[in-house]
């Protein structure tokens, strides 16, 4: 929606405090509560003080969960994580100037991932704009086309109807953020000017105790659904955020499922883990005639290479209004798909097609495990149960050696996947490790998230904390035990979001375990073609960016528990019994 400037409407006077900034903030935030918003994230500032004090009062009467962070970039990604887990937009409040700009990375990720978010940015009134007034810049339109709705609001001045105007804006913001009519969820900006006096104390009783219901669900599929035709040899591709619909289609139609680790579809009998290798094989990839794509594939080169082929029919399932994934700009974009009429996944043809992929994938996985990490191989149970003490002793020595083996990337990814269960959450950072996991981990129906909208390194920890807090709130509301949110990330992703480790007084301490593969820099860049020819010193300086941060000291500075695991046995022990509250598990890795 285009940026617009709005003035308070004329109507019934509603001013419980007599301060225009506070009264407008009261009407706006209490309407958000009535509409189902439960989480408010704020970073402190003078211009936004009326909003902040009203939020504090809403927290006091248990109408919202308030999260205070000093870094606006952390606030934005925290709100992103809260919305990813809960399905509700969180409200983010900032003051003016660079504070607003610091939300931009999270707003962009929310835009490209279609995650609902409502940012309220406090601003200077019109008479202070364009004259180089302190902490004043051009905030309307700052986020460009990334927001579903951007509104520039004149400073409230106590006119009749301002409270009603605020409530109308709240309803419009929630609807736009959820995509309730557009089918395209995403971020919304309300840029509100405030004029001095900037606030007064919120009087007792000014905030109602009523808690609202659930927000209206988004209309996710506004494009028409199509029934697929039978005949073409088809694969189902599931990228980030695809969800279980991809697995359901693959199983119903009898097609191979090529599901990335962050897709939410990496399970089921048709899963093909070694999809990269098979897509590169002429006998498999060369035989594909059609691909049906869900979500946003980002973890391989083989998938986009398949989809740009002239002999491939590509069908992409995408919400109305969203920027659809479309390599080669030749895909058919639809709102939903239905398996061909009369599909029989047990037919000889279907069993032969999907079976060839699944069995070939399993063979490749077993070969790769034996070659790269003998410790991942299944134990020899025949030896363990043998009546020969020599055989049993050999088994015991082999198991001891495996427990003492140094940790590899494959071992780390496999162990983290193995110790994550449906009541847990797994967050994968943008590092080399997410690709390692995507290559090896088997099918398992668990909740996995990765910020793959733009696949940026920033905000991983803050997003994970948001997911952890929202999942715990949902478990508490249901009277269930909450799980652990584990985060697999590299050392640079940790350092990039180190500010998210700060949990101030009064802030909830989530059950989060950061599992940090520390190889001293960005080894993901070692895989670039140029690494084979560029001077090693130059590549290290500008790409690998070596670091020697004492992560234990960093954890101690922020009050996080720290553990170090160097062997497989230590890793399994640390993952099976994580400490209470926030912790960092550091895994030294070789370059």
DSSP state string for 142-178: TTGGGSSEEEEEPPP-S-TTHHHHHHHHHHHHHHHHH
Mean pLDDT of 95-110: 97
Gap between the Cα atoms of 407 and 497, Å rounded: 25
- Beta strands 332-334 and 313-317 are parallel
Whether residue 188 is predicted with pLDDT greater than 80 in this model: the reply is yes
Gap between the Cα atoms of 18 and 581, Å rounded: 43
Whether residue 377 is predicted with pLDDT greater than 80 in this model: the reply is no
Write the DSSP assignment of 257-285 as a string of letters. EEE-TTSS---STTB-TTHHHHHTSTTTG
CA 230 and chain centroid, separation? 35
With 0.75 as the threshold, say if the pTM is over it. Answer: yes
Confidence of residue 28 (pLDDT cuts 50, 70, 90): very high
Whether residue 360 is predicted with pLDDT greater than 90 in this model: the reply is yes
Whether residue 1 is predicted with pLDDT greater than 50 in this model: the reply is no
Say if residues 41 and 78 touch (Cβ distance below 8 Å): yes
CATH classification for the domain delimited by 225-362, as one of 3.40.50.1220, 3.40.30.10, 3.40.50.1000, 3.30.70.1020: 3.40.50.1220
**pLDDT of amino acid 177:** 96
Mean pLDDT of 167-175: 96
Gap between the Cα atoms of 79 and 89, Å rounded: 8
Whether residue 396 is predicted with pLDDT greater than 90 in this model: the reply is no
**pLDDT of amino acid 2:** 46
Level-2 CATH architecture, domain 409-588 = 3-Layer(aba) Sandwich (3.40)
Structural domain boundaries of the chain? Answer: 4-193, 225-362, 374-403, 409-588
Element (H, E) at 315: strand 313-317
Q: In whole numbers, what is the pLDDT of the chain averaged over residues?
A: 91
Mean pLDDT of 287-308: 96
Superfamily of domain 4-193 in CATH is Thiamin diphosphate (ThDP)-binding fold, Pyr/PP domains (3.40.50.970)
* C-alpha angle 419-420-421 in degrees, rounded to nearest 5: 115
Residue matched to tokens 């929202």: 470
Residue 270 vs residue 328, higher pLDDT: 270
Mean pLDDT of 207-218: 65
Which residues touch 573 (CB under 8 Å, ≥6 apart)?
A: 565
């Amino acid at each position: 929606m285009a940026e617009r400037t709005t003035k308070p409407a004329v109507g019934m006077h509603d001013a419980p405090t007599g301060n225009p900034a506070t009264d407008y903030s009261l009407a706006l935030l209490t309407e958000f509560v009535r509409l189902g918003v439960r989480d408010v994230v704020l970073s402190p500032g003078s211009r936004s003080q009326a909003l902040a004090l009203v939020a504090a009062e809403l927290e006091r009467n248990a109408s919202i969960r308030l999260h205070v962070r000093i870094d606006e970039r952390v606030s934005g990604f925290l709100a992103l994580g809260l919305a990813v887990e809960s399905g509700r937009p969180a409200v983010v409040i900032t003051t003016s100037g660079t504070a607003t700009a610091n939300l931009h990375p999270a707003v962009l990720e929310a835009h490209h991932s279609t995650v609902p978010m409502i940012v309220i940015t406090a601003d200077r009134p019109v008479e202070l704009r364009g004259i180089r007034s302190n902490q004043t810049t051009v905030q309307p339109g700052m986020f460009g086309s990334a927001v579903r709705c951007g509104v520039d609001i004149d400073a409230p001045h106590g006119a009749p109807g301002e409270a009603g105007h605020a409530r109308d804006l709240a309803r419009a913001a929630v609807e736009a953020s959820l995509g309730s009519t557009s089918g395209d969820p995403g971020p919304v900006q309300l840029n509100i000017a405030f004029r001095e006096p900037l606030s007064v104390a919120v009087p007792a009783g000014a905030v109602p105790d009523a808690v609202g219901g659930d927000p209206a669900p988004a209309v996710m599929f506004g494009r028409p659904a199509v029934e697929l035709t039978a005949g073409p040899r088809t694969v189902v591709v599931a990228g980030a955020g695809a969800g279980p619909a991809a697995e359901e289609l693959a199983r119903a139609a009898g097609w191979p499922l090529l599901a990335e680790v962050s897709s939410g579809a990496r399970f089921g009998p048709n899963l093909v883990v070694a999809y990269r290798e098979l897509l590169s094989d002429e006998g498999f990839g060369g035989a594909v005639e059609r691909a049906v794509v869900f979500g946003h594939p980002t973890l391989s080169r083989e998938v986009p290479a398949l989809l740009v082929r002239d002999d491939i029919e590509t069908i992409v399932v995408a919400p109305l209004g969203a920027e659809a994934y479309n390599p080669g700009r030749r895909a058919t974009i639809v709102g939903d798909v239905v398996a061909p009429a009369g599909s029989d996944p047990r037919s000889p043809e279907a069993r032969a097609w999907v079976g060839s992929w699944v069995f070939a994938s399993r063979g490749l996985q077993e070969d790769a495990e034996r070659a790269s990490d003998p410790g991942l191989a299944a134990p020899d149970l025949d030896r363990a149960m043998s009546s020969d003490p020599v055989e049993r002793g050999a088994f015991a020595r082999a198991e001891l050696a495996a427990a003492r083996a140094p940790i590899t990337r494959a071992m780390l990814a496999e162990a983290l996947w193995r110790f994550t269960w449906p009541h847990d959450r797994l967050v994968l950072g943008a590092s080399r490790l997410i690709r390692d996991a995507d290559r090896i981990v088997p099918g398992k129906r668990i909740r996995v998230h990765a910020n793959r909208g733009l696949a940026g390194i920033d905000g991983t920890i803050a997003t994970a904390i948001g997911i952890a807090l929202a999942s715990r709130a949902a478990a508490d509301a249901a009277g269930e035990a909450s799980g652990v949110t584990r985060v697999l990330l590299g050392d640079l992703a940790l350092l990039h979001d180190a500010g998210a480790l700060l949990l101030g007084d009064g802030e909830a301490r989530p059950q989060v375990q950061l599992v940090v593969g520390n190889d001293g820099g960005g080894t993901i860049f070692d895989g670039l073609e140029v690494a084979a020819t560029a001077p090693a010193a130059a590549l290290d300086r500008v790409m690998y960016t070596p670091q020697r941060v004492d992560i234990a000291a960093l954890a101690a500075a922020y009050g996080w528990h720290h553990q170090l695991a160097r062997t497989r046995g230590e890793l399994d022990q640390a993952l099976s019994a994580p400490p209470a509250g926030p912790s960092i598990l550091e895994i030294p890795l070789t370059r």
